[in-house]
Chain A
Amino acid sequence: MAEIIIKKNKIDVSEWYLKNFEILEQHNNGSIPDFIKTIKKISLQKLIDIGFPTQKVEDWKYTNIIQIIEKNFKPSNLTEYWKNSEIIEKSKRAIESDQIISNLSSLQLVFIDGHFIEQLSNAQKSQNLELLPLQKALKEKTEIIQNHFNKYAQIENGFNALNNLFFSDGILLNVKDNTIEDEPIVVIFIQSGEEEQIINPRNLIVVGNNSKARVIETFISLKNIPNFTNTITEIFISENSFLEHFKFQNESLSSYHIGKIQTQLEKNSNFTSHNFTFGGLITRNDINIVLDGEGAESHFYGLYFVKDKQHVDNHTLVDHAKPHCLSNEFYKGILAENSRGVFNGKIIVRKGAQKTNAYQSNKNLLLSGNAKIDTKPQLEIFADDVRCTHGATVGQIDEDSLFYLRSRGIDEKNARSLLVNAFANEVLYNMTFEPLRNKVSDFVIEQMNQILQKLDK
């Protein structure tokens, strides 16, 4: 356990991480490009200055991260379990048996403890699609990385800075102009769980003009021990392009997960995000987007279905910087047992961003007396010719609906399962990629049945 020093709004970064960063620097031995060095230098100072957030910080009001900070997670850059063939084999089986991501696509990149595993990956090379591990790209595609890396994601808290310091691997996806890629790109991050580790995946996605792609990011773990995943994905979408992004947080129920997706949209582009949280003990997602070109469009869909003592916190920020943009957000939560959910959706409409349309809705279903939800939709509007709405609801399974189903001969358990599934499907229907939608829908039903079975005992 690290000794932690808590000041009013900050928790000082522990010696542990500073020391490990020094070790990593020696380990890297100056083999990283200069611009990355500069980023690391700034990030280190920032980390020391701002530390980690306490609950006094408004954005972290409902999420207590002290238990993450006080653990000494070993940076995965300094471990070598990923080289172990047994673990690779185990990972392979885990992927094959995974209910959601198995057999989805021929384009697949796998990372164990943040390191790229070539034998499990299949990143075919094509003229118009550059898809390769970030560490490799740092050497081979320096230019594109220099242009986009760390340009969009600001350091908002210590975790972001930590990722800048320790980021291991991830993907660089560069979709060139006029490219339509129908095959989804599956990116799998696996925590081996051999030791209490922190992995810092880092992805960069750049989409050129008039292009289209689909990326599925998944996080799973092999063992049920405390691990920490701290990830950042930066996305840049150029004019008239479309990117659909999926994120599945399906790690073990003892894992900690802090993730950030930062997107920048140019004129007439479209970003659609589907964010699913099923695993993790504490999960925090920050999904931010800047609509920085006229006619840009963003759609955020989210579903969190948690149980046990899970805590899930979704923060989204939609920043309308230019006029004539549309944003739509729809998050649903199902909270069972002793779980706790937090939703904070913020929409900013900047001065001059006229003719903005922004919609946001968050609906929650509490399945048990000990489940809890704190939801805070937020609008900040500085332009007058706009149409913005938001709504939030919290409730339980409707007794009337239950009665209706039972009066038609459906037993209570099935009726409940049916109603929960219907609740979730409202979000899932927005997934245009059918094979994946069916898999997620089945997964939700199974989760629900597990919870109901537990109740029976």
Chain B
Amino acid sequence: MPNESVDINQIAQQEYKYGFYTDIEMETFPKGLNEDIIRMLSEKKGEPQWMTEWRLKAYHSWLKMEEPHWANVYYPPIDYQDIRYYAAPKRRPLKSLDEADPELIKAFEKLGIPLEEQKRLAGVAVDAVFDSVSVATTYKEKLAELGIIFCSISEAIKEYPDLVRKYLGSVVPPTDNFFAALNSAVFSDGSFVYIPKGVRCPMELSTYFRINANETGQFERTLIIADEGSYVSYLEGCTAPIRDENQLHAAVVELIALDNAEIKYSTVQNWYPGDKEGKGGIFNFVTKRGLAKGKHSKISWTQVETGSAITWKYPSVILQGDYSIGEFYSVAVTNNRQQADTGTKMIHIGKHTRSTIVSKGISAGQSNNSYRGLVKITANAEYARNFSQCDSLLIGDKCGAHTFPYLEVNNPTARVEHEATTSKIGEDQIFYLNQRGISKEDAISLIVNGYCKEVFLELPMEFAVEASKLLSISLEGSVG
């Protein structure tokens, strides 16, 4: 196959599309982390006293914790004193986008989020987080008419302290784990969503995260509360510029669904994955957890993970309410030297709770892709039901695929099923498509897309298109 490999090499040289750096004036903190930095951060954001204390408390528990290393990923030690914990565009748009730095607007346009245009056309409300601060939230007024709150979390701390105090840290407590504690201490911004009783959010809410500045870490915090009988679909996208060194991203996302509420959370994660030799890239260490608190509530996670040098995250659902439902649909793609250890936890507490897990891993190049999941049926979770399926696809003989499913069943009325397969793309499948005049690259892309279809179907329309494009880019050149 000499000809093919030439083509493939050309394609393989295609670089990360979102790797540009926007030269705008930034305001940053000195490197390092200590109480003063946290106080400074809190003051900068004009936070109330309770918030500062909350952060400090988290910081103190973080100091006592050890960085966990049980995941199936390997990376050089992180020096937490060598990171800037705050970076913000200097001219912060206060009232409208017209005041924003034109460079910033350009950056967002390059990323494909035309804030202006979306206002008019797409009907997607966007909250864009640039490095550490939220720069613009569109469509806010329109949502406010329905009583929906969609704003940056800093704003929410000031405007809706009661709601924030009640729910912040209720699903992921600051002491939950090392990275959650770090995030609780230093989170700079993120999104806050509150859907009032009985309201069905008329549009998809969306956040775009971007790390721009050098040597900064991004620590955003998202809190979504769906009150009784409400519905919201939330999208999240991420990109970062190309840099030689690794950057840390440690976010926390908390979802709370009350009686009969439904939250659908979709992520397309495309942080810079590092170059072919594994240099640079984002360390994506994220804690995402949803609490299906009310009866008949539902939380659904859909994720497409194609970026990051290291992905380490387990979007989970605690099924507390009776008859609540948890879902997890994931496609994780690793190429070159990327490493991913991702999966989910479904903790069944309520009666008649149901969960579904569909995970599709694709590893290519020299990457390693692990699925790690826990399904726990507690003693009181009568008639709980789980179905898990995790498939791995291997492309090339230098990559690895691993599955670590944990099933803990403490109730005999539970029905738990787990299935996993690992395989490569069948030569007969490729042959079949070749025979019908489809080139090898296209055939593989077709097969891979078909393989991921189950998950893509769960994504909102625009994201599904983007995800399928991302998938082909991520895997380009990996077939030979």
Contact = CB atoms under 8 A, between A and B. Distances in A.
Interface of A: 58, 351-352, 354, 364, 366-369, 371-396
A384 B395 CA distance: 6
Interface in B398-430: 398-424
Nearest to B424: A384
A368 B403 CA distance: 30
Contact of A369 (B406, B411, B422): B411
Interface in B10-55: none
A379 B418 contact: no
B406 A374 contact: yes
B401 A379 contact: yes
B359 to A, nearest CB: 13
A315 B409 CA distance: 18
A392 B407 contact: yes
A280 B397 CA distance: 44
24 contacts: A354-B397, A366-B409, A366-B411, A372-B409, A373-B407, A374-B408, A377-B418, A378-B404, A379-B392, A379-B401, A380-B400, A380-B402, A384-B395, A384-B399, A386-B422, A387-B421, A387-B422, A388-B420, A390-B420, A391-B418, A392-B416, A394-B414, A394-B415, A396-B412
Nearest to B379: A369
A113 to B, nearest CB: 37
Contacts of B114: none
Nearest to B368: A382
A369 B418 contact: no
A379 B403 contact: yes
Nearest to B415: A395
A386 B70 contact: no
A366 B412 contact: yes
B396 interface: yes
A385 B422 CA distance: 9
Contact of B414 (A380, A385, A388, A395): A395
Given A352-B397, A381-B402, A385-B397, A374 B407 contact: yes
B158 to A, nearest CB: 43
A303 B7 CA distance: 53
A394 B407 contact: yes
A331 to B, nearest CB: 13
Nearest to A62: B408
B394 interface: yes
Interface residues of B, number: 35
A375 B373 CA distance: 12
B405 A392 contact: yes
A379 B422 contact: yes
A308 B424 CA distance: 45
A367 B411 CA distance: 10
Residue among B399, B402, B407, B423 facing the most chain A CB atoms (10 A cut-off):
B407
A371 B409 CA distance: 9
B409 A383 contact: no
Contacts of B424: 384-386
A383 B399 CA distance: 7
A376 B408 CA distance: 9
A384 B394 contact: yes
Given A378-B404, A384-B424, A391-B420, A373 B409 contact: yes
Contact of A381 (B406, B412, B422): B422
Contacts of A371: 412
Given A373-B409, A393-B417, A396-B413, 13 more contacts: A367-B412, A369-B379, A376-B404, A377-B418, A378-B402, A379-B403, A380-B402, A384-B424, A388-B423, A391-B420, A392-B405, A392-B416, A393-B415
A389 B403 CA distance: 10
A412 B442 CA distance: 58
A283 B302 CA distance: 41
A367 B409 CA distance: 12
A300 B420 CA distance: 19
Residue among B395, B398, B409, B416 facing the most chain A CB atoms (10 A cut-off):
B409
B402 A379 contact: yes
A372 B379 CA distance: 9
Contacts of A383: 394, 397
Nearest to A58: B70
B353 to A, nearest CB: 15
Nearest to B396: A384
Nearest to B372: A378
Contact of B397 (A351, A366, A389): A351
B143 to A, nearest CB: 44
A387 B408 contact: no
Contacts of B416: 392-395
A379 B394 CA distance: 13
Nearest to A354: B397
B420 A381 contact: no
B422 A389 contact: yes
A377 B392 contact: no
Residue among A367, A381, A388, A396 facing the most chain B CB atoms (10 A cut-off):
A381
Contacts of B399: 382, 384
